Structure 1
Amino acid sequence: MIHPIDQYEQFYSEQKIIGRGQYGIVYLVKHKKSGLDYAAKKTTGEYSLNELEILLRLNHPNIIRVFECFKSEKNLILIMEYCEKGDLWNLIQYRLLEGKNRGFAQKIVEQWFVQLLMGLAYIHDQKIIHRDLKSMNILIKSDGQLKISDFGVAKVLRENQMATTMAGSPFYLSPEISQGMEYSFSSDMWSLGCIIFELCTLKHAFDGKELNQVISNIQNCKLQSEILIEDQANQNSILMADQDIRFYSSDLVQMINSLLSLEANKRPSAQNLLKTPFIAKIMLRSFEKRQSQSVPDMQKMGQVTFVQKKAQERYKKQITYVKHLLGNSQDSVNAQSQVIKSQGDLNLQKQASAGS
């Protein structure tokens, strides 16, 4: 719902600044009537209108949600869900301040990887390319759920259309964008590879003292050598160095390799990665864990409500589908959409548990 901007202070009171970006400032605000916390993003210009238009089209558990906005001729205030734990970039910086030089644990990286894949698969299915994926734009809810945010430079691509405008943040630019070439959804996958690299190493995949050096390292796929080494058998892929590979599985390393391929057409799509046995096993393990925590024992309860029945039915379908993926990695894209929506279904399970 869109309101005149002069009504903003009637509904919300600003608590503090929680973020600053290229296109605006984000405040923690409290809704005066309900007392609930939200994030208010104050922006100006065409990028703010583009973000509003994009977000109104999206509805997914791993995409930041916009509830309403306040608009004037030049300014826009987006009221969005508040992510209590900040963003991945700040979490990485906090870990470094604690004196920890190793990345996050394998299981944590896996869970976050799957969430980002599910969010990206949904975005790309809507023919939207994000174009500014980075750890700073991945927000974290109090329960650990990730939210992809900041769609200011996102673009809707028509069938077979390629993007041409240079957009994004230097450390996460794909080789094709950095060279001024046409690009598509595979550029988002490169950025995802950079984010997963960061979670494993607490460092940018591609760095340099100056911007030109960063761009050169990207175009030559020259990662930070003390963490990753070049695979001599394939100049377009990378492997973790011996001293670090023991902390992460070969499956995860191979996926980083594929995402950071210099050739865009060799990078896997989010949809295809979700159908790999490695990712399917992670989803299955996550579903089973959440099911045991959120859905009560119906036999002991003695009564099963309609909502609880629906939650159980959805859960059984999820488990059946993920098990099917393990046996058939070439499953259809239509069936894959059930997994992409699965986190939303799991929220219903939580409601069923809370209402019992």
Structure 2
Amino acid sequence: MLRFQEIVNHGPSFTPISTCSKALIAGRYTVQQKLGRGSFGTVYLVKDKKAKDEEQLKVLKETSVGDLKPDETVEANLEALLLSRLDHPAIVKFFTSFVEGESFCIITEYCEGRDLDFNIQEYKEAGKVFPESQIIEWFIQLLLGVNYMHERRILHRDLKAKNIFLKNNFLKIGDFGVSRLLMGSCDLATTFTGTPFYMSPEALQHQGYDTKSDIWSLGCILYEMCCLEHAFTGHNFLSVVLKIVEDDAPSLPDSYPRKLNTVLHSMLSKDPAMRPSAAEILRSSYIDGQLQNMKCKFTNMIKEDQVLNSQKEAAHIITAMQKKVHLQTLRALSEVQKMTPRERMRLRKLNIADEKAKKLKQLAEEKYQENLKRMQELRSRNFHQVNIDVLHESDQPISEHLITSQPVTSLDYLSVGCKKQADSETPGRLCMSDPMEHDLRTLASMKQACSLRSKTSIH
């Protein structure tokens, strides 16, 4: 259950939502249990009837409209406005706001891990400490959320362990009830508000409040996560204030990295101008290195989840296909059972005929491929192109004997184009066809004539 110390006194005319928990609120929400009280009202766990199963549980924050002062009403509306503009994993998600009877209601994300203060006290009582890697991850998540707010000129002004919630072991900043939107970069909020353990020296001395005050509060939270106790403690409010304003910043135990302790001291500097912004801390070498490690870790986790999801999807598809095939088989069997004996006999004969036709088709295809392969082998072995160099230049006349006596290795008469010779010819000898022989003789004569002409012209 969430831990709240602030108490809101409602007037007698106010009817809280808890009295009508059986009825639907805004036509969709039913109260499950009361979680506690916050700065501006009561907090309930509700069930959203119109949401998906995994998103049905939400938080309803109720504020009495009639009992609020005008400036408090503005604060409540401002919270709804701010939350509606924020969309970040490290910030509690805002869904909607509405007025129900005498109550102004805000619906936000439900964080099942309770608040950070509850977890710190639980670890302290059990004598345990948070692992260093866990503290670094949480601290970076808070830095990212605070930087997101400050980039939009939004102050939280009440950062503390009770306003930070856990969901699936991720930290989320919540309770923007005292936030303020800065209208200019030099605008300073002067309202004295917040929890003293986390308040900055300038806020306590009424010197104004800006983004650097949120950095101070974040430094106090970092120290508390490491040491399980407040950075500045005292017996009463005044002693706490004096330590914050006058004492030096505490140091982390030696078991923590020195660079992390340096970051803490910079955040708890008395001079706001000396404190780094959230963006500057994220860009520092130590924090940036830890951030890159986190990215690698979560990237691998996402990849593993994607592989697991794909395997599950594949299993679903295979199961569905098996069911479909099984249903088709059952359907076919049922159709067969409805047939008469003669129809079943005819169906069997048709199936046998189909099988025979399929086998014959396969056999014919195999024979065709075999014959085709054999024909190609014969052609490649017995057919070679005639290699006669009739264009070779020479001063000597080319004799018919040289032309016609070139060896030809082809035995395929039909491929070359020769007619069948007489029975007296020796089998296996190739006979050139008359047209081809005539062409070769003509070429030889022409080349010889050209050679004689060239000699005559020289003389």
Q: TM-score range by the shorter chain?
A: 0.7 to 0.9
Say which of 93, 96, 99 aligns to 1:68: 96
Q: Which amino acid aligns with 1:245?
A: D
Q: Residue deviations 1:100-136, cap 9 Å, x none?
A: 3xx4221111001100000000100000111000000
Which amino acid in the other structure matches residue 119 of structure 1? G
Asked which structure has the greater CA Rg, the reply is: 2
Counterpart residue number, 2:182: 157
Structure 1 pair 202–297 and aligned structure 2 pair: CA distance change class (3 A): closer
Give the alignment partner of residue 83 of structure 2, picking from 27, 37, 55: 55
Query: Is the contact between residue 25 and residue 100 of structure 2 (CA under 8 Å) also seen in structure 1?
Result: no
289, 293, 298: which one aligns with 1:290: 298
Partner Cα separation in structure 2 for residue 277 and residue 84 of structure 1? 34
Which residue number in structure 2 is paired with residue 98 of structure 1?
126
| 2:39–2:177 Cα contact (<8 Å) kept | no
Q: 1:298 to 1:66 in 2, by over 3 A?
A: closer
Q: Distance in 1 between matches of 2:251 and 2:145?
A: 26
Instruction: Call closer, same or farther: CA 1:49–1:216 in 2, change over 3 Å.
Output: same
Q: Distance in 1 between matches of 2:171 and 2:306?
A: 30
| Cα distance in 2, alignment partners of residues 207 and 33 from structure 1 | 46
Moved more, 35-44 or 211-220: 35-44
1:298 Cα offset (Å) = 9.1
- Report the structure, 1 or 2, having the larger strand content: 1
Q: 1:245-284 to 2 correspondence within 5 Å?
A: 245-246=254-255, 248-284=256-292
**1:7·1:70 contact (CA, 8 Å) conserved in 2?**
no
Pairing 1:159-174 to 2, within 5 Å after superposition: 159=184, 160-174=186-200
The AA in structure 2 aligned to 1:239 is S
Residue pair 2:215, 2:275 contacting (<8 A) in 1 also: yes
> 1:138/1:300 Cα in 2 relative to 1: closer, same or farther (>3 Å)?
closer
Letter in 2 for 1:279: I
Paired residue for 2:430? none
Q: What is the CA distance between 1:158 and its match in structure 2?
A: 2.0
Answer yes or no: is 1:195 the counterpart of 2:221.
yes
Q: CA deviation at 1:297?
A: 10
Distance 2:290 2:84 in 1: 30
CA-based RMSD:
2.4
CA distance in 2, matches of 1:278, 1:17: 42
**1:318-341 C-alpha deviation (Å, 9 max, x unpaired):** xxxxxxxxxxxxxxxxxxxxxxxx
User: 1:134 maps to which residue?
Assistant: 160
1:149-184 CA deviation, whole Å, 9 max, x = no partner? 111111111222111111211111100011111221
Partner of 2:60: 40
List runs of 5+ in structure 1 lacking aligned partners: 223-229, 231-236, 304-356
Secondary structure at the residue paired with 2:298?
helix
Please list, as runs of the form range in 1=range in 2, the aligned pairs for 1:216-235 lying within 5 A after superposition. 216-220=242-246, 222=247, 230=248
Identical columns (%): 38
Which residue does the alignment assign to 1:336?
none
SS in 2 for 1:14: strand
Between the aligned partners of 1:15 and 1:274, the Cα distance in structure 2 is 40
Alignment of 1:274-353 (within 5 A): 274-296=282-304
| Worse-superposed segment, 15-24 or 111-120 | 15-24
8 Å contact 2:26–2:100 — kept in the other structure?
Answer: no
Q: Give the number of the structure whose residues are more often helix, by fraction.
A: 2
**Code of the aligned partner of 2:174:** S
| Correspondent of 2:112 among 76, 84, 89 | 84
Count of residues in correspondence between the two structures: 278
**Cα separation, 2, equivalents of 1:75 and 1:14:** 14
- Aligned residue identity for 1:70: F
Distance 1:298 1:82 in 2: 26
Residue 295 of structure 1 aligns to a residue in which SS?
A: helix
Task: Describe the superposition over 1:230-259 as per-residue Cα deviations: whole angstroms up to 9, x where unpaired.
Answer: 5xxxxxx5433xxx212x111111111011
CA distance in structure 2 between the partners assigned to 1:37 and 1:282 by the alignment: 33
Is the 1:8–1:70 contact (alpha carbons within 8 Å) kept by the matching residues of 2? no
Inter-CA distance 33–128: structure 2 relative to 1 (3 Å threshold): closer
1:299 deviation in Å? 10
Query: Quick one: higher RCO (CA 8 Å, sep 6+), 1 or 2?
Result: 1
For residues 181-237 of structure 1, give each alpha carbon's deviation from its aligned partner in whole angstroms, at most 9, with x where no partner exists: 1221000000000100100111111111111111111111x3xxxxxxx5xxxxxx5
- Distance in 2 between residues matched to 1:7 and 1:56, nearest whole Å: 23
Unaligned stretches of 5+ residues in structure 2: 1-16, 18-22, 312-459
Instruction: State the Cα deviation string for residues 16-40 of structure 1 (Å, max 9, x = none).
Output: 1223222112111111244411111
Q: Secondary structure at the match of 1:40?
A: strand
Q: Equivalent residue of 2:90, what SS?
A: coil
Q: What is the match of residue 346 of structure 1? A: none
Q: Whole-Å Cα distance in 1 between the matches of residues 183 and 101 of structure 2?
A: 29
